[in-house]
A and B are shown apart, each in its own frame.
Chain A
Amino acid sequence: MKPTIRKATQHVNQNEGLIFEKSSPGKAAWKLPPLDVPEVDTGKLLGSSERKDLGHMPEVSEIEIIRHFTRLSTWNYAIDLGMYPLGSCTMKYNPRVNEVVSRLEGLANGHPYQPEKVSQGALRILQTLSECLIDITGMDAITLQPAAGAHGELTGLLMVRAYHQSNGAPRKKILIPDSAHGTNPATAAMVGYAVENLKSNARGMVDVAALASQMNEEVAALMLTNPNTLGVFEQEIHKIADIMHAKGGLLYMDGANMNALVGKVRPGDFGVDLMHLNLHKTFSTPHGGGGPGSGPVAIKKILEPFLPTPVVITKPDGTLGFEYNRPQSVGRVRAFYGNFGMFVRALAYTLANGPDGLRQTTEDAVLNANYIRKGLEGVYDLPYSTPTMHEVVFSDKVQAKKGVKTMDIAKRLIDYGFHPYTTAFPLIVPGALMIEPTESESVEEMDLFIDAMKSIAEEVEEDPQMVLAAPHTTRVSRLDETAAARKPVLRWKPVQ
């Protein structure tokens, strides 16, 4: 391996088959207590509904399960191992106190339908987090019910629709910039809106003149990510809001990039009518290999009647409770009250930070992104020179001349001990390298990253084939994704 790889070295890791391949009859990892009520005749109770056989479910012992999953875990990269610079994903440190408090007996075992009088602690958590998030966003009210960011978008657009409907007609279209996340147009379609694309200008921002000409009484809302997916703050945000509002439209903000703003500026102050947050990004709840997330939607007063049911209220006797009777509500978007466990974690994070910590966090996130930009400018092409907030987007323009694309550079970065950045997104940058370090990286870690990226750029010049064949140090080399999609094998089957 090249001596320039400083962060990582190779080490032995264990092979491990599928759990089904370790199973044999009679092994068990469970033991039930003796039954304290009479045994039942399942056949008599269930009749033809009785299940006789559980097919190929595994039979293994506890130590085998521990080793199985521990071995699998060692094949994953994780924030706990190092920098995870996935742009737009905000892979920050996941504090461990969050995990501890979410497992406290009453919070972990609270049943969603237990009476309100024995749920005051859980309700207080909902209310306290709501108050914090309302002030952080500068909005007037919030629902915590949506289970993820895209679910928050759905909830938000349902409210947009209900709002316009209450004014006479739901309108027809949602405007979405070409730099937007794929969830935005997918969500608009689910709510029955047509999607109209909005072009970015040469600086990577909304083309305000184009917006003015596209905006009319058929447009229900603009879905705007701010800072956008280039990591650029929409400097003409108030003009954008004014254009929307002048024609009766609403400004929806995708809060995926809120980590650039917390404590420094509030969307509610710059004209946003509603927005979702990703607690699994900005508020440190763990990504867990792809969820659970949580996507609260904060709104201005005009949208309050349309909030999903139920909402938390303070009752006349001072106790907290749920209010269900909201005739203009868009309805329910999920059973119960949302991903409560994530609320506990997000609130623990907020309490650990306080106002000063939240502000410092944002400043460090922006400082880190600018440090990386400075370190790699000139090495990789920077398609937009507009100031960077929390993430920076380069392109593979220089390296592509040697036949090396952003995905190849990303794969080579793995050999250097880093998780890749986000590749090939946003769509407005061909061959994008989208880098978001978050506040969680030290100078030392970022210097290692910058050195790795510079070294790869040199390798591209000297030995592009080597980069194209990367990664060289992982358990598996590049996998055949085409074959996986052409003849899908989506489950294990026993050998006949």
Chain B
Amino acid sequence: MSTMSRRCIPYTPNRRPLAETTIALVTTAGVHARNQPAFNPEGEKEFRIIPNDVPTAELTISHPYYDHTDADRDINCVFPVDRLRELAAEGLIGGVNDFHIGFMGTSPRLREVYEETAPAIADRVERSKTDAVVLTAG
């Protein structure tokens, strides 16, 4: 377990041009594929791996702690996967990772999120072809 002070800022330098960068999205807005289990509204430590080839119509949100009425209509309000694909198609970024991460960020067990879930997400994303991550909440 990391003993880094919580006042430290976990900064990783980036020297790669955007046009050579593969991006993954990581969101705590409760996004997942419709064929994946909904998040436990009481909080859970499990995250969802959202394949990048899932159409946005097959994405949904299970998060009881913010009004996602508009995001239900247009997932890009909180999870800009279509926008990311468009920017990749126009060459602004090098590419989009094979998957993204969805998580429900409200939990009464924050220590579990901090010590288990977040490192697990980081490890999973690091082992992919992702070069950098865009983070969103709800």
A and B form one complex? no
Using a CB–CB cutoff of 8 Å, the interface residues on chain B facing chain A are: none
Using a CB–CB cutoff of 8 Å, the interface residues on chain A facing chain B are: none
